[in-house]
Amino acid sequence: MQSFDLKVQKIRNLRGKVKAPPSKSYTLRAIIVGCINGRVRISNPLLSDDTRNAIELWKKLGATIQEHGRSLQVTGFGNRLSLNPKNGNKSKFSEIYVGESGTLLRFILPILALLKGKFRVIGKDTLCDRPNAPIVQALKGWGVNIEGYGRRHELPIKIISNGTIKGGKTTVNGSMSSQTISSLLIAAPFTKNGTEIKVENLKLVSRPYIDITHDVLKWAKVNIKRNGYKSFTVKNGQKIKPGKVFHVHGDYSSAAFLMAAACLVKSDVTITDLVNDKQGDKEIIKILRKMGARILNRNKSVRIRGPFNLRGIEIDCRDIPDLVPILAVLGCFAKGKTRLYNIEHVAHKESDRISHPAKELCELGASISRSNKELFIKHSKLRSGKVVSSHGDHRVVMALAVAGLAIGNLTIKNARCISKSYPDFISDLKSLGAKLGKAR
């Protein structure tokens, strides 16, 4: 799909019912675990850029994945991760393409170490500039021959593997991301010595994503002993035995944009398929209520009848990095001041989610001050008729689009990236009455 600019018009109201897009986090983990063993049907998966890249990569490594309507039929490796991948060449590096998915990148590295061969992992756009030192250093400590570019181990990353990982004790710095721990947990049952993962300084961020990983591994009969978020122990020799069906429910991270829009304009919006699972971004409901929104949450759905006179609050974003862009937008419309803190780690996402949303909102007239740890947002009257940049970040696009629904006549450059996590974002909003579409 070619890049396009998104034109957003002011609307009088949003009305109707929409099903939340499937969870990207659960979809990716279910695909990975399903590909390791068994015949698994993944029901209601998210089919976005990130998950399709995962599907194509696992096919290349030898799994069989077939799309049947709203489900994926996965036939995995049968727990034999020492298999040579299809089309592998022992004398040359096989290229492993992960697109722009940080999750796929970190999750695939220990899996490649359990295969036999020489691999060169590549990606595109902003992922090529993101640091991978924690996962590379952890795998080096487990005896893996792995090296990235420069001291931050950026892409490309090369792995020369003999099909085994020794495992053992390791200490992980989780101050930037929890993905290292999740990826090690998935590979841990296949290590020679079992594993004990300790968290350095206990400054772990994005903790609910580890809970999602644990949830999927529990479905696959993997036993993990844990001491909260301080340490994780996995015995070797366990077999991954997933159930026959894994059903993916709605994504709170994506639904947050719909909820925010319904709070800012006249609305009667119902979002369905939002269950009480391990997703940390379900916190958006509590946050909006604290800001003054009235939200009905029952029967696996959320109903919002806005608008509301929101008030600024202080929000700890340690575990909810994906909500920072839309929370920054909400802060502009809330009376008083909004403070977003514990946000250092969001600077290392698809874009710098501290400075980039702030920059574009300031272009619209917002009053925002920032440091590398906090955003302070004052109630602001945003101006219409502006052109802003997505910075290639799907969540920045969607956050700015929500602002555009309230102020009108807003153009967002390079909006194609929304397909990374929420391909139906435009059509879902249009089904509720929003006026937005590709600029001409």
The CA distance from 359 to 351, in Å, is: 12
Non-local CB neighbours of 426 within 8 Å, separated by 6+ positions: 6, 418, 436, 437
Residue in the block written with tokens 């010595």 = 193
- Say whether 428 is catalytic: no
Q: Coil, strand or helix: which one is 51?
A: helix
Q: Which of 50, 273, 322, 393 is catalytic?
A: 322
Of 262, 271, 265, 258, nearest to 298 by C-alpha is 271
Dihedral class, residue 161 (left if φ above 0, else alpha if ψ from -120 to 50, else beta) = beta
Structural contact between residues 157 and 121, judged by C-beta atoms closer than 8 angstroms? yes
- What amino acid occupies position 139? L
Contact criterion met (CB below 8 Å) for 104 and 54 = yes
Identify whether the C-beta of residue 120 lies closer than 8 Å to the C-beta of residue 148: no
SS3 80: coil
Select from 359, 354, 294 the least CA-distant residue to 327: 354
At residue 351, the 3 state secondary structure works out as: coil
Pairing verdict, β 6-8 and 410-413: antiparallel
Positions annotated as catalytic residues are 322
